[in-house]
Structure 1
Amino acid sequence: MYQSQRIYLPFGDRTLTLGLKPLAIADWIEIDDQFVSYLQRKTELLKTNHSEVFASLPNTQIAQQEVLDLLLEHLSQQVPELYDRTSKTITVKATNQTWNIDQFEPLDLAGRLVQEDFCLMQPSDRGFILATASLCFPLRWRLLAKLGNPMMRIHQPVPDYSEQLGNPVDRLFDRLKVDRPVFRLNWSIVETPELYLGHQSHSSTNAVELTPDDLWIRVERQTLRRLAQSGWILFTIRTYRYPLMLLNDYPDSAIALSSIVQDLAPEMQLYKNLLPIREMLLTALEQILKRS
């Protein structure tokens, strides 16, 4: 029924770049054999930690509804067999969850239907600001700390962001066309397969206690598209995680990751939380390459 989880190993570019690629609308949302577990984890988080994973500024309802309408139309066209829709409800067949459409903020409901997270960026006199989001699977950042902020401030912790990416990102947001969505990939190495890492600013496990089997490749597939009616920018994040040992099957990617880890500036290694695990990671990659 579902296709296997896609494998994204974006270790080719060692510079801080946008790395944008054109996105076919049919490929906007990715549903795979992890569908049920992702939606179950979202349901848990939205029940127990709602204010951490959904937040909204005032006066965002129209743009939120535009996103939900866009998503429902997409799902009905691409994967109609996965959902049952009535005028008042939508049911996710695989999880047997039925949601009353009018009982949720539209973006909250959108986030419950697919594996992607959704962030809506609103134009303002400070540039585009994060106005509302359903963000169940953040990587070491808190939605409430970023809500209402422009892109430059949101990415303040990223080394060299303001010098290298700030202006290109602002230009992208200003010029993005409705009919020309784009996507990019971003990677990290983490010490857990847990999807929700909102409060994890650094490893909670002593690096000495870790083994290569504890390490996971975490990849974010990020899409950007301009909404036709509101003109806001919709940013989606689909999180993938793979055990590091997956690279036994992809020796070229192991070589690329080893090279980029060795070449990353210390401040970027610190930002990516690589310093505590750097030597173990490089040793593990060396062993993978010896076996290939």
Structure 2
Amino acid sequence: MPDQALPPPALHLPYEDGPHRMVMGLAAIQEPQWLEWDSRAPLQIAERQRLLREKRSAVLADTPGSELACTEMRDVLAAWLAQHRPGWQRPSQPADGHPLGEIAPWAVEDFCLMRPGPEGPVLIAAILCFPSRWRLAEKIGRPMQTIHQFVPGYGETLGRPVDRFLGALKEGRLATRHNWSIHEDPALYQPTGHGMTDHDPSITAENAGETLWLRVERQTFRLLPESRVIAFGIGTHVTPLAEVVAVPGEAARLAAAVRALPAEMERYKSLRPYRRALLDYLDRNTMEAAGEGSHGRGNADGVDLGSAGQS
């Protein structure tokens, strides 16, 4: 499919306007829905290739014994693309010496490979070019509970359910969920930034629509049948806040979701530097739209997606 024919990316709006809930928010998907392919692709793939050249050790990692899983990930992805992306052909010559590096230009998603173990699933390999404020080098080789130890409420609420879900995932059963956050930087590669609290006076209610971005991860899960490793896909969407509030009802929904965040999650998501400006901007837009009587979601996903924190 030529670049000019690529469709616009979906606008995923997974935040909730009710009380904050720490839930997995999983939804089953069919095989053709595993990956997205849209107008993000040229920019994101170019950025992924740049990062592989300039920051390879930061965005690609593996552990001893992960070779079979990495090769299987490459081959499963190649087979899926040949079937579900018309015109795609597997390159005749590998572009990279590592199977996960080789797939970098094939999809907009990053992939983390997790192997079930006594302490829960362990991150054994990854191509992670677009982290949302975490470093791959600090997580590789560790179980999920340890990886998410700084996520407020994860250990008490989500740790065991996540481990059970990943341990019971069956071949051919694909699932998805979404994470959301508000960032002051649209960069795709963001290995740092959690826990910021200092006020940022440069972001105001007048410019928040242009200086803040909704960052959403569309996450997918599938079992690689030979290695019995879970392929965790992460597709990143970065949307200017002004485009979000242009959807009827979304300013009010997002404001309610932000207000419902517990203080520790608000701090974890680094909302404090611009929380007041963000809420003032959303409230103003809500008031301006009040006379129109539009309170629709604008998200066609039609599934319940929770507010689980990011790693």
Counterpart in the other structure of 2:108: 115
Q: Is residue 6 from structure 1 mapped to residue 16 from structure 2 by the alignment?
A: no
Moved more, 244-253 or 259-268: 244-253
**What is the rounded CA distance, in whole Å, between the counterparts of 1:110 and 1:271 in structure 2?**
32
Q: Is the 8 A contact 1:121 1:128 kept in 2?
A: yes
Counterpart in the other structure of 1:72: 78
Offset of residue 111 of structure 1: 2.6
Q: Is the 8 A contact 1:53 1:135 kept in 2?
A: yes
162, 167, 171: which one aligns with 2:160: 167
Moved more, 48-57 or 257-266: 257-266
**Structure 2: which amino acid aligns with 1:84?**
Q
Q: Is residue 249 from structure 1 mapped to residue 250 from structure 2 by the alignment?
A: no
Counterpart in the other structure of 2:305: none
Counterpart in the other structure of 1:57: 63
Counterpart in the other structure of 1:85: 90
Q: Is residue 229 from structure 1 mapped to residue 226 from structure 2 by the alignment?
A: yes
Q: Is the 8 A contact 2:183 2:214 kept in 1?
A: yes
Whose helix proportion is higher, 1 or 2? Answer: 1
Name the CA shift for 1:205/1:113 in 2 (closer, same or farther; >3 Å). Answer: farther
Name the CA shift for 1:241/1:235 in 2 (closer, same or farther; >3 Å). Answer: same
Identity within the alignment, % = 37
122, 127, 130: which one aligns with 2:120: 127
Offset of residue 138 of structure 1: 0.2
Q: Is the 8 A contact 2:28 2:176 kept in 1?
A: yes
Offset of residue 203 of structure 1: 5.8
Offset of residue 124 of structure 1: 2.4
**What is the rounded CA distance, in whole Å, between the counterparts of 2:196 and 2:149 in structure 1?**
21
1:195-210 equivalences under 5 Å are: 195-201=188-194, 207-210=200-203
Paired residues in the alignment total 279
Q: Which has the higher contact order (CA 8 A, sep 6+)?
A: 2
Name the CA shift for 1:260/1:27 in 2 (closer, same or farther; >3 Å). Answer: same
Q: Is the 8 A contact 1:251 1:289 kept in 2?
A: no
**What is the rounded CA distance, in whole Å, between the counterparts of 2:234 and 2:64 in structure 1?**
23
**Structure 2: which amino acid aligns with 1:162?**
G
**TM-score normalised per structure 1:** 0.91
182, 185, 189: which one aligns with 1:189: 182
**What is the rounded CA distance, in whole Å, between the counterparts of 1:263 and 1:48 in structure 2?**
40
Name the CA shift for 1:38/1:205 in 2 (closer, same or farther; >3 Å). Answer: farther
Q: Deviations over 1:202-246 (max 9, x none)?
A: 569961012302000000000011111111111000000100011
Moved more, 195-204 or 143-152: 195-204
**Structure 2: which amino acid aligns with 1:236?**
G
Q: Deviations over 1:4-54 (max 9, x none)?
A: 111001112631100000011101110101110000100111110000000
Q: Is the 8 A contact 1:118 1:134 kept in 2?
A: yes
**What is the rounded CA distance, in whole Å, between the counterparts of 1:111 and 1:280 in structure 2?**
37
Offset of residue 172 of structure 1: 0.2
**What is the rounded CA distance, in whole Å, between the counterparts of 1:61 and 1:51 in structure 2?**
17
Counterpart in the other structure of 1:138: 131
Q: Is the 8 A contact 1:191 1:203 kept in 2?
A: no
Name the CA shift for 1:201/1:123 in 2 (closer, same or farther; >3 Å). Answer: same
**What is the rounded CA distance, in whole Å, between the counterparts of 1:167 and 1:85 in structure 2?**
39
Q: Is residue 32 from structure 1 mapped to residue 38 from structure 2 by the alignment?
A: yes
Counterpart in the other structure of 1:273: 270
**Structure 1: which amino acid aligns with 2:97?**
F
Task: Give 3-state SS (helix, strand or coil) of 1:279's partner.
Answer: helix
**TM-score normalised per structure 2:** 0.86
Gaps of 5+ in 1: 90-99
Counterpart in the other structure of 1:96: none
Counterpart in the other structure of 1:238: 235
Q: Is the 8 A contact 1:11 1:253 kept in 2?
A: no
Task: Give 3-state SS (helix, strand or coil) of 1:207's partner.
Answer: coil
**What is the rounded CA distance, in whole Å, between the counterparts of 1:55 and 1:142 in structure 2?**
11
Counterpart in the other structure of 2:283: 286
